[in-house]
Structure 1
């Protein structure tokens, strides 16, 4: 046995070089040039049967093709990284097999460690996502300064640096904006609504819905870039609203559907189908899993997003629901319709009981004007209704919902547009758009006009004041333009 061992170890340098070169040649012909021994270092082969000589890649016989496939399967190299060198992964040479083994062993002289240029180091998923967002922010900047991205970014989850200083500051009153800070051609069609996120920590986010079939989320308080575009609808997006959590939003469209979308992932969470075109929707204040949906139908439906089923239905003798407004506590709500006939006093504004689906009051507004939008006072004791009579009427939010005939907010024009209205965070200022493109600010107590801003060239259909930042406001018009004021 000693002589046999000595005989095996007595290979000359020329024979070893020849044997190594033969192995290199077979590896390159069978596995490809990229898997050669010279590139990957030492290779450890799996165990083989000493009686099956046909496993050799050059083995002959009738089973030549099958033997070749089996050879490639059994003798594929195993790569084991052994740290890094100059930022490049390095492969550790495996130990040689025991002498006398039936396995086909590697060359007796292990090759030097070579850097694996084809292997990239592992990058965590969170870091990859942040790099993708940074790349999209640099490469997808539009001519108007907006950025279109398909997934959420850190701006959707972290508190904006602009918002942070004002979160703990007490409000000292409502400050009115004076000039435009940013003007963007946000959509290719009329913008129906804009709304700031109601959660203070995410209030830098601005939601817009348009007739161009899309809804967008903007960094309204910061860069003004578009962070996310939702194209889930096949029809015009008539209305949009944030969910109370601030991470999802609800949209209603003329394609007879209402969709809940997650802002961070960009995925559709819930999609429900109606038998009518959706024109208005709102979330139930006490139960965020329920929302009301109305449109070109005499029926208003209450949907549960957990089961995607209608839990309640409210029937009225009308043709279209223009707007829905929940009253304080969420136990009752008011709907406005398009009924304008002489005997339509019992259908223009209707108060409903949410639980029983019964009409609480239908003698609220007795004038022959439709009310395209409504807004609730922050204190919850009053609400206003925008009318096509070019004024806003004030109503009590408690039964029997009487109209205040002494206060009427006039000076703007509606002229058939669905012009929106809104109270400031403290309820002292009432804001309204106008079909002439201007913005009007009214004192809530005296109904006196405080300021007039010439905002847009086309009809200004919606405006919203920021819930945290003073003197910051967003407005939109019928031409697809979006403006941020300060």
Structure 2
């Protein structure tokens, strides 16, 4: 019965506290346990351990507090939420014999002085909160760009343009024995940078600089890449105001020749990216060719019945080659540089007259116009590096082999078939030893043929769009570069 009454009194106390009333009508036992609860909360706050209930001194303090109940009831009522100082004062008054360590924990801690800044040890970077790290960006200070956005160091670019690549260096010396048919198998690098179709890709012909890859695009730019190691774009040349249709290296490897739909052809320095010479034609330039005996002279052909020979030193026309055609698709100097072949879009009803025309460079006279007798145009030409022959890419979905000596007869027993052209200017190329012929395809694949037997050696599914450019590396075995109509460039090994 006694415990039941005490339980009812405790419920009544809670109701009075909820109504904001002061709990005056309490028993001595309730006051004692309330003081103990306050001490527990204070001990938790100041992280000091409280003595056990079996401690003798703690029991004495409890009995002392129970004997002063009358004085506690006679005091005026305090606030419902007493401050820690009030609790300490009332508790110390009711229990004057508390242990020393317990009384110390009940004292209010003094205000801590400001912490002195201590410099971190050398070699250790102090921690900076996230809010402070984001403050400069909010104030308009640009953050440090990532590695992909950092502009390449000019000294690094100059070194890559002038020094020999470590990957190419072991292959610069003579290699004993025949190389054989070494073909690329997998993708090594993907070069992204052009925003339009890439018409041509070409490795630098100088062995020491053969890690450089040239690309010309319809987005009006010409780019030079490190196509062997890093895949970095080393130089961007954007001097043309129209689509760049053709580009090639000069034999020295330090200059580029580019032709554009803005009716100009331009000679550009590789290291500075600045134009050295610029000539203006009255037609859109589609194809270029450098005279082997005199690299300062080059040919320009395009949307015209004429092919012009320019001297880059004087920027003047030296010779003009006229034919009854609408446009010139490709130009190729033959062995020795005294004669060259042009490909046109002209076809006749019975035979393809003037499709391939052989010219004498000195006299500007036609040597032969009855070379190819099939009704297909030839969008590109490639010269064999060692033999007196060349191949012509035809819109009949095959490559034809011709002799580069008069009368330039076609080899009717040897055709390289299996790829498709379908109106694209698909280019072809020979391996350095001439044993392999490579070509792109309108299906996006790259085809490799044996030059002597014309059988297919390998087919790579390289691109999603039409593969229009292919170039085999002049030094490294089984390395090639390809480009497609969507602007993608890949290197293979």
Does the pair score TM above 0.5?
Answer: yes
| Paired position in structure 1 for 2:101 | none
Q: 1:303/1:316 Cα in 2 relative to 1: closer, same or farther (>3 Å)?
A: same
Q: Cα–Cα, structure 1 residues 324 and 140, in superposed 2: closer, same or farther, change >3 Å?
A: farther
Evaluate the alpha carbon distance shift between residue 480 and residue 147 of structure 1 in structure 2; reply closer, same or farther with a 3 A threshold.
farther
Aligned 8 A contact 1:414 1:434 in 2: yes
Give 5+ residue unaligned stretches, structure 1: 1-137
Q: Judging changes above 3 Å, is the alpha-carbon distance between structure 1 residues 357 and 231 closer, same or farther for their aligned structure 2 residues?
A: same
Residues 1:402 and 1:266: Cα distance change in structure 2 (over 3 Å): same
Distance 1:345 1:182, change over 3 A: same
Any conservation in 1 of the 2:347–2:353 contact (CA below 8 Å)?
no
Indicate the residue corresponding to 2:451 in structure 1. 444
Who is 2:38 aligned against? none
- Asked if the contact 1:148–1:227 (Cα under 8 Å) also holds between the matched residues in 2, the reply is no
Q: 2:215 aligns with which of 208, 211, 232?
A: 208
What is the CA-CA distance between 1:140 and the residue it aligns to? Answer: 8.3
1:163 aligns with 2:162: no
User: Following the alignment from structure 1 to structure 2, what is the Cα–Cα distance between the partners of residues 140 and 375?
Assistant: 43
Partner of 2:252: 245
Q: Map 1:433-472 to 2 at 5 A.
A: 433-472=440-479
Alignment of 1:342-421 (within 5 A): 342-343=349-350, 345-421=352-428
Scaled by the length of structure 2, the TM-score of the pair is: 0.68
TM-score scaled to structure 1, two decimals? 0.69
| Cα distance change on mapping 1:259 and 1:266 into 2, 3 Å | same
Aligned length: 348
How far residue 435 of structure 1 moved from its aligned partner, in angstroms, is 0.2
- Structure 1 or 2, whichever has the larger Rg, is 2
Question: Do the aligned residues in 1 keep the contact of 2:288 with 2:330 (CA within 8 Å)?
Answer: yes
Counterparts in 2 of 1:82-481, with a 5 A limit? 142=148, 153-170=158-175, 172-343=179-350, 345-481=352-488
Shift in CA distance, 336/316, structure 1 to aligned 2, threshold 3 Å: same
Aligned mates of 2:179, 2:391 — CA distance in 1: 24
Segment drifting more, 147-156 vs 259-268? 147-156
1:217 and 1:344 mapped to 2: Cα distance?
Answer: 42
SS in structure 1 of the partner of residue 208 of structure 2: helix
Q: Distance in 1 between matches of 2:146 and 2:301?
A: 37
Whole-Å Cα distance in 2 between the matches of residues 434 and 148 of structure 1? 38
Matches of 1:357 and 1:439 in 2, distance apart?
37
Aligned counterparts of 1:331 and 1:189: Cα–Cα separation in 2: 36
Deviation at 1:185, TM superposition (A): 2.3
Unaligned runs of 5+ in 2: 1-143
1:404-449: CA deviations, max 9, x gaps? 1001100000000000011110011000000000000000111000
Superposed CA offset, 1:197-224 (max 9, x none): 0000000000000000000000001111
Contact 2:190 2:231 in 1 (8 A): no
Deviations 1:359-418 (Å, cap 9, x if unpaired)?
000000010000000101111411000000000001011000001100110000000000
SS of equivalent residue, structure 1 residue 406: strand
Q: Aligned to 1:153, what secondary structure does the other structure show?
A: helix
Structure 1 residue 141: Cα displacement: 5.5
Alpha carbons 1:152, 1:263 under 8 Å: kept: no
SS in 2 for 1:456: coil
Q: Separation in 2 of the partners of 1:161 and 1:457?
A: 32
Asked if structure 2 preserves the Cα contact closer than 8 Å seen for 1:213 and 1:233, the reply is: yes
Show CA shifts across 1:222-274 (max 9, x none). Answer: 11100000000000000000001000110000000000110112211011000
- Computed over aligned residues only, the root mean square deviation of the Cα atoms, in angstroms, reads 1.9
Q: Deviations over 1:49-108 (max 9, x none)?
A: xxxxxxxxxxxxxxxxxxxxxxxxxxxxxxxxxxxxxxxxxxxxxxxxxxxxxxxxxxxx
Change (3 A) 1:158 1:148: closer
Deviant stretches of 4+, over 2 Å? 138-143, 145-152, 171-174, 343-346
